[in-house]
């Protein structure tokens, strides 16, 4: 029998070690948060991070083992550490394989609501001017079906899209015909306030497997204050609409989104309870976006990123407690962020991706035939800024839109992988570029990140989630369940 060698015989001397790329930030006087190339986090002391950077680590000292397992170091002749990172990065970025899976049709800009935070600057009159024509819709569909995704989603937007229900019917039937011929699967969703929902519409949604997405801002007084309409009954119509839709289409066929206004800030528990009461399985705590009336009416500037974060943190606490009381219920944005942090699943969600999703994630066909790189892009256009208008359905095709200089420039200049502040940020792997937001707030698609409220919110959310994961095993067990599925 040959002799066995002692453990020391298998250690690499430090001159055979090499550092792998990592980002870090100071979290306390002696503490650092460190993330590897694919965003796995570990915490190191100042002494440890200094030793690591100098490669003063030795097998058996504990730091070597932690750093190796976290892909911060590799043997200089080894390949597997880099290959593992490459493979995981490829998986994380594979949302790029599905090019432009989302196509939004603004079938009308008219709306019977008059929300002061309206991000799209709705119009109340003049059907001929603010409704999409059949010819425009047909051209939009041609472009949508040119995209290379094997499956596309068509989302009807407004205004209130149900005000032009006739066109929705036409688009659905034309898209289904194309889907059959081109064997490209197509899903539909209508973003609606549900005020105009009736049995005909429900039957149509049922027959065509159409999802509904609506707005619910919280309790009646808050919702009706945020979302005025003639009769002051937006809340009553939304709630009864959600109930009817769940009954007619199934509980998972209607989703609701809330928008945080200044008046919401102190009432997060009530808002969450409203969702719980309706039997919904979670809530998406969403800040106002800096577009349309939200800017014009100065709604957007009424609260800071920090006061929104405070609202979010209290909300998340409430959501976790609901889970501890035995009801599974999620905060959906946290869910997305956790999926990025704890798994390598490709997440194409628009705020959480770089390259940004403008154009290559979604295209928007406006009522007048203008084509935009994102929903926010067309919101900007309503207030006179055409920075993200890529072309027109009559003059362009999918290729000319997606390869336009305007789009390529905006995407390439906003990459978090190389943007100042982003490229060295410990949260980079899990964040997104959001060029439209930065264009809107700073006049520059890249933006100065220390001045960005988007950046402040993203970091605030991720720091908070990490803190909970570290400090409360009980909460962490719930958060882990939200990741991935």
Partner 1 sequence: MTLALSGTADRCRGFEQHTRSVIRLKALGDARSSAGADFTVVRTSDDLKRVIQDSHEAIFAIDDGTGCFLSSEGLPRRAITVPAQFSYLAPGDVIGIHTPSRKFRTLYRHNSRHNSFLVTERCNNYCLMCSQPPKDIDDRWILDEIRQSLPLLDKETRTLTFTGGEPLSDSVEFIGLLADCRDQLPKTAVQVLTNGRAFAKSEIVDAWRKVNHPSLIAAIPVYAAVDHVHDYVVQAKGAFDETILGILKLKDRGQRVEVRVVLHAQTAPIILDTCRWIARNLSFVDHVALMGLENTGFAIANEAQLWIDPIDYRAALADAVDVLVAAEVNVSVYNLQRCVLAQSVWPYAVQSISDWKNAFISECEPCTEKSRCAGFFSSGRPRRSKAISPIL
Kindly state the DSSP code that residue 133 receives in the 8-state scheme: P
Using the contact rule CB under 8 A, the part of the chain among 8-16, 209-217, 224-232, 405-413 near partner 1 is 8-16
Task: Give 259 or 323: the residue with its C-beta nearer to partner 1.
Answer: 323
Q: Are 133 and 72 contacting, i.e. CB atoms less than 8 angstroms apart?
A: no
Q: Which of 24, 33, 40, 416 touches partner 1 by CB under 8 A?
A: 40
- The distance of closest approach from Cβ of residue 83 to partner 1 in the complex, given in angstroms and rounded to an integer, is 5
Q: Which of 116, 346, 460, 484 touches partner 1 by CB under 8 A?
A: 484
Any contact of residue 43 with partner 1 (CB under 8 A)? Answer: no
* Sign of the torsion formed by the C-alpha atoms of 155, 157, 160 and 166: negative
Task: Give 363 or 462: the residue with its C-beta nearer to partner 1.
Answer: 462
Task: Give 274 or 344: the residue with its C-beta nearer to partner 1.
Answer: 344
Buried b (16+ CB within 10 A) or exposed e, 330-351: bbbbbbbbbbbbbebebbbbbb
Q: Which of residues 339-398 bind partner 1 (CB under 8 A)?
A: 343-344
Task: Give 10 or 183: the residue with its C-beta nearer to partner 1.
Answer: 10
The continuous run of DSSP H or E covering 189 comes out as strand 185-191
Reduce the DSSP state of residue 211 to 3 states and report it: strand
- The distance of closest approach from Cβ of residue 39 to partner 1 in the complex, given in angstroms and rounded to an integer, is 10
- How many whole angstroms separate alpha carbon 479 and alpha carbon 71? 24
- How many whole angstroms separate alpha carbon 326 and alpha carbon 121? 42
Q: Which of residues 317-346 bind partner 1 (CB under 8 A)?
A: 343-344
Q: Are 25 and 42 contacting, i.e. CB atoms less than 8 angstroms apart?
A: no
- How many whole angstroms separate alpha carbon 478 and alpha carbon 483? 9
Task: Give 408 or 477: the residue with its C-beta nearer to partner 1.
Answer: 477
Using the contact rule CB under 8 A, the part of the chain among 6-14, 94-102, 133-141, 267-275 near partner 1 is 6-14
Q: What are the two backbone dihedrals, phi and then psi, of residue 390, each rounded to the nearest 5 degrees?
A: -90, -20
Task: Give 342 or 401: the residue with its C-beta nearer to partner 1.
Answer: 342
- The distance of closest approach from Cβ of residue 482 to partner 1 in the complex, given in angstroms and rounded to an integer, is 11
Any contact of residue 79 with partner 1 (CB under 8 A)? Answer: yes
- The distance of closest approach from Cβ of residue 54 to partner 1 in the complex, given in angstroms and rounded to an integer, is 20
Any contact of residue 14 with partner 1 (CB under 8 A)? Answer: no
Q: Which of 87, 135, 418, 448 touches partner 1 by CB under 8 A?
A: 87
Any contact of residue 29 with partner 1 (CB under 8 A)? Answer: no
Reduce the DSSP state of residue 331 to 3 states and report it: strand
Q: Which of 30, 65, 126, 471 touches partner 1 by CB under 8 A?
A: 65
Any contact of residue 47 with partner 1 (CB under 8 A)? Answer: no
- Residue count, binding to partner 1 (CB under 8 A): 29
- The distance of closest approach from Cβ of residue 80 to partner 1 in the complex, given in angstroms and rounded to an integer, is 4
Any contact of residue 68 with partner 1 (CB under 8 A)? Answer: yes
Q: What are the two backbone dihedrals, phi and then psi, of residue 32, each rounded to the nearest 5 degrees?
A: -130, 145
Q: Which of 78, 149, 179, 208 touches partner 1 by CB under 8 A?
A: 78
Any contact of residue 20 with partner 1 (CB under 8 A)? Answer: no
User: What are the contacts of 476-482 at 24+ separation with CB within 8 A?
Assistant: 478/320, 478/323, 478/324, 479/320, 479/334, 479/338, 480/338, 480/342, 482/330, 482/334, 482/335, 482/338, 482/339
Any contact of residue 1 with partner 1 (CB under 8 A)? Answer: yes
Task: Give 29 or 485: the residue with its C-beta nearer to partner 1.
Answer: 485
Q: What are the two backbone dihedrals, phi and then psi, of residue 184, each rounded to the nearest 5 degrees?
A: -115, 120
Any contact of residue 88 with partner 1 (CB under 8 A)? Answer: yes
Copy the structure tokens of residue 319: 């959501």
Going residue by residue from 268 to 287, which x/- string records binding to partner 1, judged by CB under 8 A? Answer: --------------------
- How many whole angstroms separate alpha carbon 380 and alpha carbon 440? 7
Secondary structure of 352-411 as H, E, C letters: HCCCCCECCCEEEECCCCEEECCHHHHHHHHCCCCCCEEEECCCCCHHHHHCCHHHHHHH
Using the contact rule CB under 8 A, the part of the chain among 3-11, 156-164, 187-195, 429-437 near partner 1 is 3-11
Task: Give 52 or 162: the residue with its C-beta nearer to partner 1.
Answer: 52
Reduce the DSSP state of residue 202 to 3 states and report it: helix
- Kindly give the pairing relationship between strand 210-215 and strand 185-191: parallel
Buried b (16+ CB within 10 A) or exposed e, 119-140: bbbbbeeeeeebbbeeebbebb
Going residue by residue from 425 to 464, which x/- string records binding to partner 1, judged by CB under 8 A? Answer: ----------------------------------------
Buried b (16+ CB within 10 A) or exposed e, 464-475: bbbebbeeeeeb
Q: Which of residues 464-483 bind partner 1 (CB under 8 A)?
A: 480-481
Task: Give 50 or 83: the residue with its C-beta nearer to partner 1.
Answer: 83
- How many whole angstroms separate alpha carbon 139 and alpha carbon 137? 5
Give residues in contact with partner 1 (CB under 8 A).
1-2, 4-5, 7, 9-12, 40, 59, 64-65, 68-69, 75, 78-80, 83-84, 87-88, 343-344, 480-481, 484-485
């Amino acid at each position: 029998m040959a002799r066995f060698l002692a453990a020391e015989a298998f250690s690499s001397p430090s001159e055979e070690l090499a550092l792998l790329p990592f980002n870090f930030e100071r979290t306390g006087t002696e503490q650092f948060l460190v993330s590897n190339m694919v965003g796995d986090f570990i915490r190191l002391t100042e002494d440890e991070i200094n030793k690591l950077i100098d490669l003063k680590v030795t097998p058996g000292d504990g730091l070597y083992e932690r750093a190796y397992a976290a892909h911060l170091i590799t043997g200089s002749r080894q390949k597997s550490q880099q290959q593992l990172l490459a493979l995981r990065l490829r998986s994380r970025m594979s949302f790029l394989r599905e090019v432009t899976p989302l196509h939004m049709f603004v079938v009308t800009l008219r709306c019977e609501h008059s929300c002061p935070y309206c991000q799209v600057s709705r119009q109340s009159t003049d059907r001929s001017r603010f409704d999409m024509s059949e010819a425009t819709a047909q051209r939009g569909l041609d472009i949508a079906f040119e995209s290379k995704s094997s499956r596309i989603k068509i989302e009807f937007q407004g205004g209130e899209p149900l005000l032009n229900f006739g066109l929705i019917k036409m688009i659905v039937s034309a898209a289904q015909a194309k889907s059959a011929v081109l064997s490209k699967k197509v899903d539909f969703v209508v973003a609606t306030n549900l005020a105009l929902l009736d049995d005909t519409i429900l039957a149509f949604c049922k027959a065509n497997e159409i999802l509904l997405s609506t707005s619910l801002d919280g309790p009646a007084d808050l919702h009706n204050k945020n979302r005025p309409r003639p009769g002051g009954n937006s809340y009553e119509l939304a709630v009864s609409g959600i109930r009817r839709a769940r009954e007619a289409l199934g509980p998972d066929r209607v989703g609701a989104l809330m928008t945080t206004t200044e008046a919401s800030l102190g009432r997060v528990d009530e808002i969450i309870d409203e969702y719980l009461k309706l039997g919904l399985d979670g809530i998406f705590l969403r800040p106002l976006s800096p577009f349309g009336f939200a800017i014009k009416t100065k709604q957007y500037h009424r609260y800071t990123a920090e006061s929104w974060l405070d609202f979010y943190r209290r909300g998340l606490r409430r959501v976790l407690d609901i889970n501890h009381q035995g009801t599974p219920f999620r905060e959906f944005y946290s869910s997305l962020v956790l999926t990025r942090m704890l798994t390598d699943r490709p997440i194409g969600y628009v705020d959480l991706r770089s390259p940004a999703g403008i154009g290559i994630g979604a295209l928007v066909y406006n009522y007048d035939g203008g084509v935009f790189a994102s929903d926010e892009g067309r919101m900007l256009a309503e207030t006179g800024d055409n920075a993200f208008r890529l072309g027109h359905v009559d003059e362009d095709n999918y290729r000319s839109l997606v390869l336009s200089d305007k789009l390529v420039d905006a995407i390439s200049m906003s990459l978090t992988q190389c943007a100042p502040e982003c490229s060295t940020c410990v949260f980079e792997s899990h964040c997104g570029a959001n060029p439209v937001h930065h264009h809107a707030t700073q006049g520059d698609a890249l933006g100065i990140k220390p001045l960005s409220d988007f950046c402040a919110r993203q970091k605030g959310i991720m720091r908070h989630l990490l803190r909970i994961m570290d400090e409360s095993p009980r909460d962490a067990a719930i958060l882990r369940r939200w990741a991935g599925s």
